[in-house]
Structure 1
Amino acid sequence: MKYEDNTYVTRDGVYYEGIIREIKRSRNTFQPIYEAFTNALEAIKIREKENNGFNGKILIKIHSTQNTDGSLTFSKMHITDNGIGFNDEEFDRFNTYKDFTKGFKNLGSGRIQYTHFFDTTRIKSIYESNGGYREREFVVSKNKNFLQHKSIVFHKKDVEIEAEASSTTLTFEGLLDSNLASYHNLNDEILKDALLRRYIQYFCLNKKELPEITIEHYAFNERENISKITESDIPEIDKSEDFQIHYSKVSPDASKVESADEFETFTLNSYKLDKSFLKHNDLKLTSKNEVVQQFDINLVSLAKNDVIEGSHFLFLVSSDYLDNKDTNERGEFHIPRFDEFQDQLNMFSDREIILDDLEYKLGETVWSLYPEIEKIQEKHLTDLNKLKEMFLLPDDFDSDIDISINDSSKKILEKFYTVEAKKKAELDSNIKDSMDRLNHLDTTSDDYSALLNEEIDRIVRVIPQQNRVELTHYVARRKLVLDLFSLILNKKLIVQNDGSRNNNEELLHNLIFEQKSTITNKSDLWIINEDFIYFQGVSEFQLSDIKYKGKNIIREDLSDKESEYITSLGQKRLDKRPDILLFPKEEKCIIIEFKSLDTNVSDHLNQINHYATLLRNFSIPEMKLTTFYGYLIGEQIEPHDVRSHDADFIPSYEFDYLFRPAKKIAGMFNNEGKDGSLYTEVLKYSTLLERAKNRNEIFIKKLTGENTEEAEDDETLF
């Protein structure tokens, strides 16, 4: 077909305004560059077939202008190749929408992406004709003038010239979206990296016949830098394997999906790349030797962050099936999953390749190529089992949820608890249904007793299931707290060893009852005693600031003598901060003091006595504090040393602690002659931990059905 100069190119039945709306702008902002680069590679391939020994070349020039603040703004880009050029045949293909005749399976839609990103795409092409050369120049755009003429191509000229070889220069100008930072930040190195990642399959397959690829970056027409893609940049294919996937088809009675005899052949090429180049393991489909970025497919045999011998793996899948499946938007095709195909049979052809089958076969193939991945799989299984143990998850919990090898622990737990929530909702619904049915029972009917017993049986079956879920979460949380307690006790936390902080006492204090807190029912005071979480209390407050039932516990009507004592010897006795105070009820107070892991506890035996004395004498009358219970907790405890400081302490026979049954707490000033009494225990953190573990283990064994005789014996101890 002969094209007239200075004319808009049109085609019968082709309405470009509708086509442009139909073919959306690619999500990949470099898509027009890739389209032009692909065309350059194809033009070179055609010329290579016609000229033995031909050396292809592609030159890309990125032009930027510099702003007053030193930043750059994209101006234009030239892409030049020495391929066959736009002769009449190639130009005719370029102007034919959905052209299927070209050997590279292009659909003629790449130029639509030009129009989505740039106001004008100018193309000058020299091509061989009748022993000489001609130059063709045309412009691609979707601006108003073009669409008014039902065209996106304006053919400027096609003239005979003097030349030595064919070539094509494509120029992108007028970036339509001025906020596309990916273009304003673009330079030769960034584009080289993008091209390497995009065309890794093509480059590897054509490594020995690769054209000379040069990328230059200009600012104000001065060349800033130059990069080349050479054979040394291209990795070798590490391993390659062909495999087959059978089509799935609808059964003759349209009731189910079954395997068909027909199949497609796929090729898996694997690249073992340094983890610094390839940030994570990846599996990609390819179309026409280009990586398809927009299609998601799961790599089921290897997690994204797994590293083997310092390398990540890129697995690329190619097939004639994928090339033929490609759409007008280049690289955006659809392969249904099994459930989708089964549920919407009418939307698909009578047979389809199923994505689930493809993923499964790819996983098998990867395993066969790299047996060392099995060790990685074993690690993931070990981590999953640790998660089960840590959170008391049932052994078969993963049968209810779809766990991916890329799922983090958080994601796995989210999936599990979502399923559990649905189960709990169903249990609640069953209970409500039973309660609703009770309203309809007739006590005078003959079957009343039978119906009542039936509903009772239903509720009795449901409630234990519901409670078990709640109890499992409760016990699992406690297990985690005890694991953390153990890590602190053994100085295994990072914060205890990186030099940033080494306050073991504070870490343990906050674990048991957060400092500055008054919410005991959300604390972990159960580690010391199960009852403590039900009492009112405070953690790390000055005595003068502590409130009980909304009132300050320290009297405001102190006598002169009392005030004098409080500040005598330069001290501020009511500014002291007991670690924890608990108030079970009137007249009683529990005082808990923590010491660091390296402190000799014997040196602090009188500290609790002193706090009790202050509370006995200066608290408000309503509290009537006369009975105190003290717990002095540390790790460096020598029983003989404790007794040498205070012989009233007695070693416990069973649980590795010392206790003092009673100590008088002096009643002074207004309380003179009305002494209080203090019971005190001195015990190790490790003893607390062991006690708490034993108690929690009893719950765990109950939940898991391991109600052994040993567990029953333990239960009687606490």
Structure 2
Amino acid sequence: MEDNTYISADGVYYEGIIRDIKRSKTSLQPIYEAFTNSLEAIRIKANDDETFQGQILIKIYSTQNIDQTFSFSRLLIIDNGIGFNDKEFKRFNTYKDFTKGFKNLGSGRIQFTHYFDTTTVKSVYKAEGGFREREFIVSKKKEFLDNNAITYHKQDIGSSFQTSGSTIIFEGLLDPTRNIYHKLNDASLKDALLRRYIQYFCLNKNDLPDISIEHFVFNEKISSSSITNKDLPEIDKTTEVNVNYSKISDDAFTIVETDNHEVFTINSYKLNKDLLKYNELKLTSKDELIENFEIELQSLAKDEVIENSHFLFLVSSDYLDSIDTNERGEFEIPDNEIFSGEPDIFQNDEVIILDLLVMKLNESIYHLYPQIERIQEKRELDLKKLKEMFLLPDHLDPSLEISINDSDKKILEKFYTSEAIKKAELDSTIKESIERLNDLDTTSDDFSETLEEEIDKIVEVIPQQNKVELTHYVARRKLVLELFTLIIEKNLSIQKSGNRNKDEALLHNLIFQQKTTTPDKSDLWIINEDFIYFHGISEFKLSEIKYKGENIIRNDLSDQELKYLDSLGEKRLDKRPDVLLFPQEEKCIIIEFKNPDVSVAAHLNQINNYATLLRNFAKPELRLTTFYGYLIGEKIEANDVRAYDADFKFAYNFDYLFRPQKTIAGMFANEGKDGSLYTEVLKYSTLLERAKKRNNIFIKKLTDRSLD
């Protein structure tokens, strides 16, 4: 090869090649290409000398900025392999050379040109009569492409060196925004190489070259790292998987498996979770990790930890090596979805389908470790509980594609999104039917028949639509009741924290949030279904309560009334009923919650007092004369209640007491105009029992299953 010569080739147009072979999405691809070349050069040399010990030294040069960050300058990869003799140099310069013993595609140098302005190679190789030294440059600069070349052969001269080897120098980063290079140091590059070549390193653990990485700042070495056997995990388990080829069926409607198959090997590595952040399933090509091809690990959640470890499952196969492309690791394996739109993938009769490959690999991984089987069983149990909790169907639509990596939130999100789409379709069907009604002609002969058809369509759709909405409604209520149960049984974390007793506030806020005025957004249905439809307030001073936008307390109180309200230091209008509801004029519902640890009997007069204040000091236009009181607690001794007030009676059903009527005194301006109060005294647990029975009736009708 002549010195100072651009190397071109017949039938090769490099400007077109540069355009067609895209820059790899893997930023460090040029380094990987050069590192692979070094490994191969060392392997070739080792084949002729069993005592030979290979060496690879990588030097990273940076400058330091004012803000103490680094900027990439250049990178050297130095090896003591066979060097670029005439044979290897010819291969390097032959586009798509397939003759090299390591399954190279001969396109790696294209990535050199995409990332660096110049890549200089200085190589010493053994020739007849001694050693020679060759230097050449790889680039896509204008002067190169003008000569239809990306390689410039600078010189080939005799050398005083007595051993072979090569130095590759990357300079002039073409995309300065590639921060990965500016942040590159010995430690980060070591991690990247370990990840990329884990398969190769582990398979060749006993024959690895000495690999060192050094980081220089302003030509001064500041740190270094090395890759040794201590960095490499042992292969924990290995298994082989047969994956059949597929072809289109004779009727061209389905995909069928053939008898031919490919063998895929799964090597499993068990790594400390601090070293491997997630469980991963990765394909490899030529013993290198393929970074840009995602394959789903369905047998194990990515963040699942087993014995403080994560697992890396690496898949290798001659098939994967054979379909690798010029971009190295950038290949496609068709799936069933592609088949439905592009049957041309079967132009070669038989192909490996991704869906089948993924299924087979995950089946093998599932049975590879008993721990994974147990995790899967627990996952199925958790999913079953989630279905029961939210009244999801036992058999979810396969189109939801529930993954083992999906959180409960993600599963629910997928389900409700699917339901929303179905609901939109149902609504659309109803709308279309109604619109078609406008076009009906009552005088036509088929009017009755056509009308019946549209009615049938609507009648069929509406129950489906209502069932979806009712299921969500009932499922939410079920969750509320489960929370109610936890509070009563004191099983919430806040109840176990040792802080002051908050049971009453927790129950109050569950049923009707304090300081709110929206019963329709509350869970008052636990007490009575009708209560959520009334006007009402929760935990306001009597003096601040409004009904239909106006204060309910009169603003014309007499001196005598004001004196009474503040007598004995009571400040009676500052009292805060837990809940007041106004179903209609003249009526008022008063609800009081008591701490489950407090005896309810001692508070029987509290609702009477609130009713008296409202009867006498509310605006006359409200005409509050009829009151309904609910005193709710858990510590209820029926005999104590009747001892305080013998007018309370035992209810025939459920465990509660009621007083049919109590006179509420009319005083001051209302003197002689008494009101009446109906009162119930009941337990939280009784409320819960009632509500569960009501809700479970709906659940049975919706799902044909009881969830007591």
TM-score, structure 1 normalization: 0.91
Confirm or deny: 8 A CA contact 1:257 1:342 kept in the other structure: no
Q: Name the residue aligned to 1:297.
A: 295
Q: Name the residue aligned to 1:397.
A: 396
| 1:539, distance to aligned residue in structure 2 (A) | 2.3
| 1:437, distance to aligned residue in structure 2 (A) | 5.0
Q: Name the residue aligned to 2:376.
A: 377
Q: How many angstroms apart in 2 are the aligned matches of 1:152 and 1:400? A: 50
Q: How many angstroms apart in 2 are the aligned matches of 1:182 and 1:493? A: 47
Q: How many angstroms apart in 1 are the aligned matches of 2:528 and 2:274? A: 52
SS in structure 2 at match of 1:518: coil
Q: How many angstroms apart in 2 are the aligned matches of 1:445 and 1:360? A: 58
C-alpha distance after superposition, 1:328-347 (max 9, x if no partner): 11111100012312431125
683-692 or 697-706: bigger deviation: 697-706
Is 1:48 equivalent to 2:46 in the alignment? yes
SS in structure 1 at match of 2:293: coil
Q: Name the residue aligned to 2:464.
A: 465
Q: Name the residue aligned to 1:166.
A: 164
Query: Aligned in 2, Cα 1:600/1:180: closer, same or farther, shift over 3 Å?
Result: farther
Q: How does 1:162-311 map to 2 (within 5 A)?
A: 162-251=160-249, 254=252, 256-311=254-309
232-241 or 248-257: bigger deviation: 248-257
Q: Name the residue aligned to 1:109.
A: 107
Is 1:606 equivalent to 2:605 in the alignment? yes
Q: How many angstroms apart in 1 are the aligned matches of 2:376 and 2:388? A: 18
SS in structure 2 at match of 1:670: helix
C-alpha distance after superposition, 1:429-480 (max 9, x if no partner): 4444544554555555666555544544443333222222221221111111
What amino acid is the match of 2:299?
S
Q: How many angstroms apart in 1 are the aligned matches of 2:183 and 2:639? A: 74
| 1:372, distance to aligned residue in structure 2 (A) | 4.1
Q: Name the residue aligned to 1:513.
A: 512
Query: Aligned in 2, Cα 1:648/1:158: closer, same or farther, shift over 3 Å?
Result: farther
C-alpha distance after superposition, 1:293-317 (max 9, x if no partner): 1111122333323333333222111
SS in structure 1 at match of 2:117: strand
C-alpha distance after superposition, 1:520-574 (max 9, x if no partner): 2222111111001111112233333332212222333333344444444555443
C-alpha distance after superposition, 1:30-73 (max 9, x if no partner): 22222222222112111111221211111222333333333333
Give the gaps of 5 or more residues in structure 2: none
Confirm or deny: 8 A CA contact 1:60 1:79 kept in the other structure: yes
What amino acid is the match of 2:268?
S
Query: Aligned in 2, Cα 1:520/1:71: closer, same or farther, shift over 3 Å?
Result: same
Q: How many angstroms apart in 2 are the aligned matches of 1:592 and 1:474? A: 25
| 1:624, distance to aligned residue in structure 2 (A) | 1.9
What amino acid is the match of 2:41?
A
Is 1:71 equivalent to 2:69 in the alignment? yes
Q: How many angstroms apart in 1 are the aligned matches of 2:202 and 2:697? A: 61
Q: Name the residue aligned to 1:100.
A: 98
Q: Name the residue aligned to 1:658.
A: 657
Give the gaps of 5 or more residues in structure 1: none
Q: Name the residue aligned to 2:7.
A: 9
Query: Aligned in 2, Cα 1:566/1:253: closer, same or farther, shift over 3 Å?
Result: closer
Q: Name the residue aligned to 2:627.
A: 628
What amino acid is the match of 1:174?
G
Q: How many angstroms apart in 2 are the aligned matches of 1:592 and 1:555? A: 22
RMSD between superposed Cα atoms in Å: 2.9
Q: How many angstroms apart in 1 are the aligned matches of 2:44 and 2:481? A: 71
Q: Name the residue aligned to 2:502.
A: 503
Is 1:685 equivalent to 2:684 in the alignment? yes
Q: How many angstroms apart in 1 are the aligned matches of 2:500 and 2:133? A: 74
Q: How many angstroms apart in 1 are the aligned matches of 2:327 and 2:28? A: 13
Q: Name the residue aligned to 1:363.
A: 362
Is 1:133 equivalent to 2:131 in the alignment? yes
Confirm or deny: 8 A CA contact 2:248 2:346 kept in the other structure: no
Q: How many angstroms apart in 1 are the aligned matches of 2:289 and 2:21? A: 20
Q: How many angstroms apart in 2 are the aligned matches of 1:80 and 1:497? A: 64
Q: How many angstroms apart in 1 are the aligned matches of 2:524 and 2:176? A: 60
386-395 or 62-71: bigger deviation: 62-71
C-alpha distance after superposition, 1:143-164 (max 9, x if no partner): 4444444433333333222113
| 1:586, distance to aligned residue in structure 2 (A) | 1.1
TM-score, structure 2 normalization: 0.92
C-alpha distance after superposition, 1:210-233 (max 9, x if no partner): 111122233343333322211122
What amino acid is the match of 1:620?
K
637-646 or 389-398: bigger deviation: 637-646
| 1:500, distance to aligned residue in structure 2 (A) | 8.0
Query: Aligned in 2, Cα 1:609/1:116: closer, same or farther, shift over 3 Å?
Result: farther
C-alpha distance after superposition, 1:409-430 (max 9, x if no partner): 2332233333333433443344
Q: How many angstroms apart in 2 are the aligned matches of 1:106 and 1:622? A: 94
Query: Aligned in 2, Cα 1:398/1:224: closer, same or farther, shift over 3 Å?
Result: same
Q: How does 1:578-589 map to 2 (within 5 A)?
A: 578-589=577-588
Query: Aligned in 2, Cα 1:170/1:516: closer, same or farther, shift over 3 Å?
Result: farther
Confirm or deny: 8 A CA contact 2:367 2:373 kept in the other structure: no
Q: How many angstroms apart in 2 are the aligned matches of 1:542 and 1:12? A: 95
Query: Aligned in 2, Cα 1:654/1:119: closer, same or farther, shift over 3 Å?
Result: same
What amino acid is the match of 2:104?
N
Is 1:477 equivalent to 2:459 in the alignment? no
Q: Name the residue aligned to 1:84.
A: 82
Confirm or deny: 8 A CA contact 2:121 2:166 kept in the other structure: yes
C-alpha distance after superposition, 1:236-292 (max 9, x if no partner): 112222232222223466555333343222211112223332222211110110111
Confirm or deny: 8 A CA contact 1:120 1:172 kept in the other structure: yes
Q: How many angstroms apart in 2 are the aligned matches of 1:46 and 1:597? A: 82
